[in-house]
A and B are shown apart, each in its own frame.
Chain A
Amino acid sequence: KNQVEQSPQSLIILEGKNCTLQCNYTVSPFSNLRWYKQDTGRGPVSLTIMTFSENTKSNGRYTATLDADTKQSSLHITASQLSDSASYICVVMDSSYKLIFGSGTRLLVRP
């Protein structure tokens, strides 16, 4: 069964610190992997999209990595800000263009 699992479920960090969120997937065949940021009560906003051949992709303070062999991805947030408090969702697109969502990691950045 195609699944996307994220860890941790929730995370609290102090402003200015770094953190790494994890995503494991079993989707096969695989088209691409995305990370989204979802603020409370809002729709998801795309942070990064990586295809099979990409290992790393950055978007400002966000850096995503992908290991297609182990089917793992991570999202690293550098120098966290209060505005980074949100849910971060890992989404895998399969070969039929269907999006399979992880349950998300809820990040809280405290001053």
Chain B
Amino acid sequence: GAVVSQHPSRVICKSGTSVKIECRSLDFQATTMFWYRQFPKQSLMLMATSNEGSKATYEQGVEKDKFLINHASLTLSTLTVTSAHPEDSSFYICSARKQGATEAFFGQGTRLTVV
């Protein structure tokens, strides 16, 4: 099956610093990757959709300058949370989709805690 790996699985950072989260498709080429945020006891909320080689499309209410997304290759997308604040503490999950496919596979998630 298709494997999507996120790194790190947990990160604690100080308020005001930036944190980068990686999402890799290990055994397939992902033309599209999705970034989600999940608060406790809530479902996943789509933040942005990134297509390889082009700018990400952000959902309404998501600040593109705060959540920088780079999808430079067919196997790697990164989400950088800039100038993190405690309210950015959340569970961030990526998913990746092959070209022409409808199925998307999820990473294991990254728990971000901003102190």
Contacts and interface: CB of A to CB of B under 8 A. Distances in A.
B91 interface: yes
Interface of B: 4, 6, 34, 41-46, 91, 93, 95, 102-109, 111
A41 B102 contact: no
B89 to A, nearest CB: 14
Contacts of A81: none
A43 B109 contact: yes
Contacts of B34: 99
Q: How large is the interface on A (under 10, 10 to 19, 20 to 34, 35 or more residues)?
A: 20 to 34
A89 B43 CA distance: 8
A101 B103 contact: no
Contacts, number: 39
B108 A42 contact: yes
A45 B106 contact: yes
A35 to B, nearest CB: 13
Contact of B42 (A42, A49, A93, A103): A103
Contacts of A36: 106
B78 to A, nearest CB: 17
Nearest to B38: A38
